[in-house]
Amino acid sequence: MFLQCGKHRLDLSRPVVMGILNVTPDSFSDGGRFVNPAAAIAHGLAMVEAGAGIIDIGGESTRPGAQAVSEEQEIRRVVPLVEALASTVDVPLSVDTSKAGVIRAAIKAGATFINDVRALREAGALEAAADSDAGLCLMHMQGEPRTMQMEPVYDDVVSEVREFLQSRLDACAAAGIARDRLVVDPGIGFGKRIEHNMKLLAALPELLKLGRPLLIGVSRKSMFGTLLGRAVGERLAGALAVAVSSVLAGAGIVRTHDVAETVDALKVAAALRMSGYWTAEVNPGERL
């Protein structure tokens, strides 16, 4: 399966690593590390050198409890970095945003992918995306970042997430957005308890029936604090376990802070997948 991102055409027959580059002071894992432009550029280049196939630039934190920033502030944070990297790397540059003005400014600056936790539901976002040729990630989130983890409730998390993602794919089709520009993300940790996350990760083959590539992002998330009792900086092993299992189940893109380690893990997962070790139709428990 291919993903069209402006001038870039990504072959997702092998998994692609999306490297996270937050230029925010308050992101849960790396807040403040890359607010200096030179440090941010250097980190972006290092991730590409380590094997990242996409760089995802974030100018507004979406961690639980995060405060919103203005459109103008977000543009000031991300656009200079997009401009700097667009002239030096040959991979899609993604911007993690929900705002129509940021979408337009980022694409004008050289971004070719938009990663939207609100799935293009903010005012003007769908139209801004439709006016471009950028790749687009539609993510499920219950609630808003400031409150999403307070009381998430589902009757059937898998069916509800699938129905939401289908509705957003339909909205994009109605807006004239080609399907080969779209990926979907179940939004692990976004308005979900650990049991919801586990059910979604176990049901990735069901979500693949939407007919679009899956993006999975679990890097350093609190679920590993719960499962492993590990602090934020000690969650790599847990994230790699989920990354590998997700790719074996058919996921095409894995979003991570830890690019080099994830690239290595996914090379092994891809080799296993190509060998027939896993197919989406087989219950993994049958192989134990």
Per-residue pLDDT reduced to its tens digit, 184-228: 999 999 999 999 999 999 999 999 999 999 999 999 999 999 999
More confident residue, 174 or 148: 174
Interval 43-74: pLDDT, tens: 999 999 999 999 999 999 877 766 788 999 99
Average pLDDT, the chain: 91
pTM, two decimal places: 0.91
Q: Is the pLDDT of residue 151 over 50?
A: yes
Options 255, 267, 273, 287, the catalytic residue: 255
Has 212 been annotated as catalytic?
no
Q: Is 166 exposed, middle or buried (0-12, 13-18, 19+ CB in 10 A)?
A: middle
Question: Mind listing the pLDDT tens digit for each residue in 262-287?
Answer: 999 999 999 998 888 755 454 443 33
Helix %, strand %, coil % of the chain (to 5): 45, 15, 40
Cα dihedral across residues 239, 165, 283, 156: positive or negative: positive
Instruction: For residue 255, indicate whether it is catalytic.
Output: yes
Tell me the C-alpha distance between 5 and 73, whole Å.
25
Q: What is the pLDDT of residue 249?
A: 94
β-strands 93-96, 135-139: how paired? unpaired
3-state SS class at 162: helix
Question: Catalytic residue among 221, 230, 235, 287, which?
Answer: 221
